[in-house]
Amino acid sequence: MERIKTDLLVIGAGSGGLSVAAGASQMGARVVLLEGHEMGGDCLNYGCVPSKALLASAKAANARRDARLGVAVQAPQVDFAAVKDHVAAVIAQIAPVDSQDRFEGLGVRVIREYGHFVSRTEVQAGAHLIAARRIVIATGSTPFIPPIPGLDSVPYLTNETLFALRERPEHLLIVGGGPIGLEMAQAHVRLGYKVTVIEADRALGREDREAAALVLDHLRAEGVEIAEETAAAQIRGQAGAIEVVSAEGRIFAGTHLLVAVGRKASTDRLNLEVAGVETTRTGIRVDASLRTSNRRVYAIGDVAGGLQFTHVAGYQAGVILRSTLFGLPSKARTDHIPRATYTDPELAQIGLTEAEARKEHGDRVEVARFDYLHNDRAIAERRTEGFIKVMVVRGRPVGVTIVGHQAGEHVNLWSLVLANNLKMSQVAAMVSPYPTIGEINKRAAGAYFSPRLFENQTVKRVVGLVQRWLP
């Protein structure tokens, strides 16, 4: 058994763990990184990267919009195996950034084994026993498999197996109407396959209702069947002929089944009880500093049971580094964390939705809105579906909803605004190049100030007086 002493032990080489390991090592700490599976974690291998690559292929196949621009396009010929080759090539191109070689080049000791606690400060990984001053758990999450009768007797896909599928899914059944389910639904229907989404509650139920409705209407118009408030009560059949039976007895038949109902924290291998690390129903219990019930152990990313986004894990890595390397007080926030669903149109949210803002702030909330329909670039490109809503309290945004073309890009500005507690006046002072879709952000700020300037009788009286006295 090799005994290793280190300043920092990171368990898990996903986005959060890699960020911690790279930052700590480059700032002079001794770092050991454990990973028993794929370097890069879920995001690189089974999540963000392959899903966006698949969506890019689907976008290329969706030529119907070009007809609105006066361009006749023949029906695309989709080679599904070649599409999957494209997905694999994208992963391979990005993989070196997350590779073992790169991190060893940064001075990190990388051990390709799963780890488990053997004491409050020690972790065993294969033939290695690591004693660390500080330990960061960044083991991520895995697909949650619901206890639906019959599911264990039929072949099904999750995000961990979907992107390796090379046979054509002639009719894809998707259990789960969240962002992952709907992104994959649109991707596959655009590639030419039938898709049915079965959702027990409301699809995109966490999102602003009006924004979600716009997305769902577009997906249905493209041919995705979406059955909401329809719980899957039984699954039966065999490969190539699968049926999902709802609680009401409705039968959905397809060739392939994708389960996309959420994720669960990956804690099973860790032996957390020995370390004195407490867990909750959603993951490891952490405080605002991301510290667990064992003060030497931290948890970040999906395993910490909070927001499950790659960018959250990266942000939390910075919080951890300030605390573990410099001993500085450092707390994680969530009010400035954006999220995006990469359907077409996209849906992005940061801070509070309108309903959440009204519940929390009551009559103090003002909603500034601007529609894509009035954006000249959107008109030129025939991408006028969508809007931006900014929820404002006493001149400062507390939430922003954007649905429409490139919404995930445009929410970046509002992440800056909320992170720095900026005012709407500072957004209004921005100058956007014309014509860009991004002008919607400035125009939303204009919509907030317009009533104050153009409908205010006091302003009009002052202007009138000034005009009489000006030479």
Same domain flag for 364 and 422: yes
Domain count, the chain: 3
The reply, when asked if residue 140 is annotated as ligand binding, is yes
Residue 159 CB partners (closer than 8 Å, separation 6+): 42, 46, 47, 51, 143, 180, 260
| Residue 165, both tokens | 């599928």
| Residue 417, both tokens | 């605004």
Residue at 71 is within a domain: no
Residue at 128 is within a domain: yes
Same domain flag for 303 and 256: no
Q: What is the pLDDT of residues 104-149, one digit of tens each?
A: 999 999 999 999 999 999 999 999 999 999 999 999 999 999 999 9
pLDDT at 105: 96
State yes or no: pLDDT of 454 exceeds 80: no
Asked if the bond preceding 345 is cis, omega within 30° of 0, the reply is: yes
Q: What is the pLDDT of residues 148-181, one digit of tens each?
A: 999 999 999 999 999 999 999 999 999 999 999 9
Residue 304: give the domain boundaries.
2-39+99-143+264-326
The reply, when asked if residue 16 is annotated as ligand binding, is no
The reply, when asked if residue 182 is annotated as ligand binding, is yes
State yes or no: pLDDT of 456 exceeds 70: no
pLDDT tier for residue 398 given thresholds of 50, 70 and 90: very high
| Residue 33, both tokens | 């990184």
The reply, when asked if residue 174 is annotated as ligand binding, is no
Taking residues 82-107, report their average pLDDT: 94
Same domain flag for 166 and 247: yes
Q: What amino acid occupies position 79?
A: D
Residue at 219 is within a domain: yes
The reply, when asked if residue 176 is annotated as ligand binding, is yes
Diameter over CA atoms, the chain: 91
Residue at 170 is within a domain: yes
Residue at 129 is within a domain: yes
The reply, when asked if residue 183 is annotated as ligand binding, is yes
Same domain flag for 431 and 312: no
The reply, when asked if residue 139 is annotated as ligand binding, is yes
Rounded Cα distance between 61 and 131, Å, is 53
Residue at 54 is within a domain: no
**18-27, 328-337, 416-425: the lowest-pLDDT one:** 328-337
The reply, when asked if residue 306 is annotated as ligand binding, is no
Same domain flag for 298 and 438: no
The reply, when asked if residue 210 is annotated as ligand binding, is no
The reply, when asked if residue 201 is annotated as ligand binding, is no
Q: How much is the pTM? A: 0.93
Residue at 464 is within a domain: no
- 342: domain CATH number is 3.30.390.30
State yes or no: pLDDT of 73 exceeds 80: no
The reply, when asked if residue 141 is annotated as ligand binding, is yes
Quick check: 240 and 204 in contact, CB under 8 A? no
The reply, when asked if residue 180 is annotated as ligand binding, is yes
One-character DSSP codes across 209-245: HHHHHHHHHHHHHHT-EEE-S--EEEEEEETTEEEEE
The reply, when asked if residue 38 is annotated as ligand binding, is no
| Residue 91, both tokens | 């992963």
- 170: domain CATH number is 3.50.50.60
